[in-house]
Amino acid sequence: MITELGHFALVLAFLVAIVQAIVPLIGAARRWPGWMAVAEPAATTQFLLTAFSFGALTWAFVSSDFSLRLVVLNSHSAKPLIYKISGTWGNHEGSMLLWVLILTLFGAMAAWFGGNLPPTLRARVLAVQSAIAVAFFAFILFTSNPFLRLAVPPFDGQDLNPLLQDPGLAFHPPFLYLGYVGLSMAFSFAVAALIEGRVDAAWARWVRPWTLAAWIFLTIGIALGSWWAYYELGWGGFWFWDPVENASFMPWLFAAALLHSAIVVEKREALKSWTVLLAILAFGFSLIGTFIVRSGIITSVHAFANDPERGIFILMILAVFTGGALTLFAARAQALEAKGVFGMVSRESALVVNNILLAVSAMVVFVGTVWPVVAELAFDRKLSVGPPFFDMAFTPFVIALALILPVGAMLPWKRGNLRRTMLPLWPVLGLSVALGGLAYALRTGDSAAGPLGVLLGVWVLGGAMVDLWRRTGRGAGRMGRLTRLARADWGKAVAHGGLGITIFAICALVAWQEEDIRVAYPGEPFTVGRYDLILHDVTTERGPNYVAEVAEVHVFTNGRELTRLFPEKRNYPVARMPTTEAAIDYRVLRDLYVVVGDRQNDGGWTMRTYIKPFANWIWAGCLIMALGGALSLSDRRFRVAAGARKAPSAGVPAE
């Protein structure tokens, strides 16, 4: 019964979305306040209906209702509760429902907090947002309905893919979707602004928090996925340039570019049409990502649904929205005249360079991702584009970005002077070159990535600190002023510092990792780097829905026992899949990563041991970036804008 209600609520939400996509748009064109006002209650209703529908599906998973096809295919009664819940979105249909839930949530939030927007702009934003929702409701109802029943329900389900039964991955998709879908707000604002023919500082101030929020969620989502790959896949890789990873990385790069160009619109009323274009592209690439993942056109295992019908549907959504928005852009971009005047050397120019590097690097990722398809269709060549290509083609842009970042971040607006800006930065540059040289001298013969990583990391991190310090002005009381700086200043420095940390950590891990592969015999010690390891014993243990072989490994350093590690090899009988569970000793400066493999005929076990320097710093850097974004999001100017709308509502109309 609940299932049917959930299905019905979804259909109702679809109908409400259609109304919300049309009526306010006409109202805004004709200046009919009543028609425009439809948008707000409609957005709230749409969200509540979708939330109910999603709740119904979650309930079916939690209560293991095996009359539902989706639950049978993706759940099992013996699965832990948390994975029953996360199983709701661990499949194509459920994840699309989560997608529209977030889409309608953003729409509703724009309605709730959009009181201080001009009424026509608000009506148009909500209408465009709802048009996107219409497309995705139709997609779910017509091609991917999660509420289909089975005529003969089986006794138990087929279990969720065991690799997905993991806390890191349980919450990875919701964060990614919050990011992808969050960019729909920037898109809706961009399209609404094009219809209005007006982009100004107030518009940018509205777009920026949404983009910032989306970017924060994307950052966390990508970091979670990468961290999961690191500990779950058994050899500690953290990024593979897989099409699905690229699908999330491209919107991230565009969102980062959009964040920066929106600052220029907000502060200087320049780069307007470019910012609008970026907003369209950022969401366009979210849609492309969805298309890549769902259509299976670029084969990757993440692809839940290798289904041409669904692929074509999403391709149509992509064509209509991106194509339509770009056409509108071509027709209306002229209306967005630029105002700000600035010199060649200025913060504005630096942000333009930032945008070029981010956008071009995103396009490089895009070209590399689709090239196998292009080559096969156009040139009849079956080829692969793998990590070596991306490493070579993408990395130079990151290096360039890191090199100009500290300088660009400190250049003054309008007109700057490179020599004066560099003055406080010379010591940082000297320090980073010295430390890079030291790293080179200590580890001669290793990959050049190490010293380069040290240089770039120290330069970016140190630059962010100097930037923050310079903002406190001169004379006494600088420490006090430091704490009173605007949150946006702190956010900028923290986010840039996080980037420096991540760049350093990736380089350090790539350059200085140590690896040992051997057959280990119980009781016989072996040495890896500074550590002595002994395989103590291997026992068989039983989990809720799996059987595991658990190895006990004792780790010594300088004769003292450091820790005991328990790497596992699991077998999930229902899903008929083995997984490896690496045991990791996390430390600040390095991870010790131990994996147990197969039993050998002579009684030994295959063991892999890795020493991974600064591994945690990669994700710590990502979280610091996200924290910087959050600090910036909580800046006073956004809060004041949100609070301002409360004032008029206090007054009672004197009728």
Q: Output 155 or 379, the one with its CB closest to another protein.
A: 379
* Minimum CB–partner distance for residue 362 and another protein (Å): 10
Q: Output 171 or 240, the one with its CB closest to another protein.
A: 240
Question: Strands, DSSP E only, in 577-631?
Answer: 577-581, 583-586, 590-599, 605-613
Distance CA 628, CA 332 (A): 35
Distance CA 205, CA 189 (A): 11
Q: Output 291 or 321, the one with its CB closest to another protein.
A: 291
* Minimum CB–partner distance for residue 163 and another protein (Å): 5
* Minimum CB–partner distance for residue 469 and another protein (Å): 29
Q: Output 384 or 558, the one with its CB closest to another protein.
A: 384
* Minimum CB–partner distance for residue 162 and another protein (Å): 8
* Minimum CB–partner distance for residue 433 and another protein (Å): 26
The CA dihedral of 598, 601, 602, 607, to the nearest 10 degrees, is -10
Which amino acid is it at 565?
Answer: L
Measured from the Cβ of residue 383, the count of other Cβ atoms closer than 10 Å reads: 10
Q: Residues of 129-167 as b/e, b for ≥16 C-beta within 10 angstroms?
A: bbbbbbbbbebbbebbebbeeeeeeeeebbbbbbbbbbe
DSSP symbol at 566? -
Q: Output 564 or 576, the one with its CB closest to another protein.
A: 576
Q: Output 72 or 293, the one with its CB closest to another protein.
A: 293
Q: Output 148 or 383, the one with its CB closest to another protein.
A: 383
Measured from the Cβ of residue 631, the count of other Cβ atoms closer than 10 Å reads: 19
Which amino acid is it at 527?
Answer: T
Q: Output 176 or 633, the one with its CB closest to another protein.
A: 176
* Minimum CB–partner distance for residue 597 and another protein (Å): 5
Question: What is the enclosing helix (H) or strand (E) of 117?
Answer: none
Q: Output 363 or 431, the one with its CB closest to another protein.
A: 363
Q: Determine the longest span between alpha carbons in the chain, in angstroms.
A: 93
Question: What is the enclosing helix (H) or strand (E) of 223?
Answer: helix 201-232
* Minimum CB–partner distance for residue 47 and another protein (Å): 29
**Structural tokens at position 419:** 């020599």
* Minimum CB–partner distance for residue 348 and another protein (Å): 7
Inter-residue contact 503 to 624 (CB < 8 Å): no
DSSP symbol at 600? P
**3 state SS of 35:** helix
Q: Output 163 or 201, the one with its CB closest to another protein.
A: 163
Distance CA 622, CA 317 (A): 32
* Minimum CB–partner distance for residue 159 and another protein (Å): 13
DSSP symbol at 652? P
* Minimum CB–partner distance for residue 315 and another protein (Å): 21
Query: Of 544, 548, 575, nearest to 75 (Cα)?
Result: 575
Inter-residue contact 157 to 76 (CB < 8 Å): yes
* Minimum CB–partner distance for residue 572 and another protein (Å): 11
Instruction: List all residues 6 or more positions away from 576 whose beta carbon is below 8 Å from its beta carbon.
Output: none
> Positive or negative, the Cα torsion across 504, 418, 412, 400?
negative
Inter-residue contact 117 to 206 (CB < 8 Å): yes
Whose structure tokens read 């990791």?
Answer: 584
* Minimum CB–partner distance for residue 590 and another protein (Å): 21
Q: Output 418 or 434, the one with its CB closest to another protein.
A: 418
Let me know how long the chain is: 655
Q: Output 576 or 646, the one with its CB closest to another protein.
A: 576
Query: Of 103, 90, 105, 248, nearest to 168 (Cα)?
Result: 90
